[in-house]
Amino acid sequence: MRIAELPANEAARIDALHSLRILDTPREERFDRLTRLARRLFDVPMAVVTMIDVNRQWFKSCVGLGDATETSRDVSFCSHAILHEEMTIVPDATLDPRFSGNPQVTGEPFIRFYAGCPIKSESGFTLGTLCLVDTVPRSFDADERALLKDLAAMVEQELTAVRMATIDELTGISNRRGFDALARHALANSRRMDWPACMLYFDLDQFKQINDRFGHAEGDAALVDFAALLSSSFRESDVIGRLGGDEFAVFLTNADLAESDTVLAHFAQSVREFNVLRPRPYALAYSVGVVQYDPARHADLAALQHSADALMYERKKARRAQAG
Mean pLDDT of the region 193-212: 95
pLDDT value for 139: 96
| Residue 74 a catalytic site member | no
Give the per-residue pLDDT at 189: 82
Q: pTM here? A: 0.73
pLDDT (0 to 100) of residue 26: 85
CB-neighbour burial class of residue 117 (10 A; exposed 0-12, middle 13-18, buried 19+): buried
pLDDT for the residue 324? 62
Residue 53 pLDDT > 80: yes
Q: What is the DSSP string of 248-268?
A: EEEEEES--HHHHHHHHHHHH
What pLDDT score does 193 carry?
85
Closest CA to 260 of 286, 293, 304, 285: 293
Find the catalytic residue in 134, 205, 246, 309: 246
Please return the burial class of 81, using the count of CB atoms within 10 Å of its CB with bins 0-12, 13-18 and 19+.
buried
Average pLDDT over residues 286-310: 96
The three-state secondary structure class of 200 is strand
Kindly state the average pLDDT of the residues 147-152: 96
Round the average pLDDT of the chain to a whole number and report it. Answer: 94
Average confidence (pLDDT) over 265-273: 97
Q: How confident is the model at residue 27 (pLDDT cuts 50, 70, 90)?
A: confident
User: Which amino acid, residue 107?
Assistant: G
| CA angle (201, 179, 275) in 5-degree steps | 50
Helix-helix angle 257-277:216-233, to 10 degrees: 130
Mean pLDDT in residue range 147-153: 96
pLDDT at 1: 83
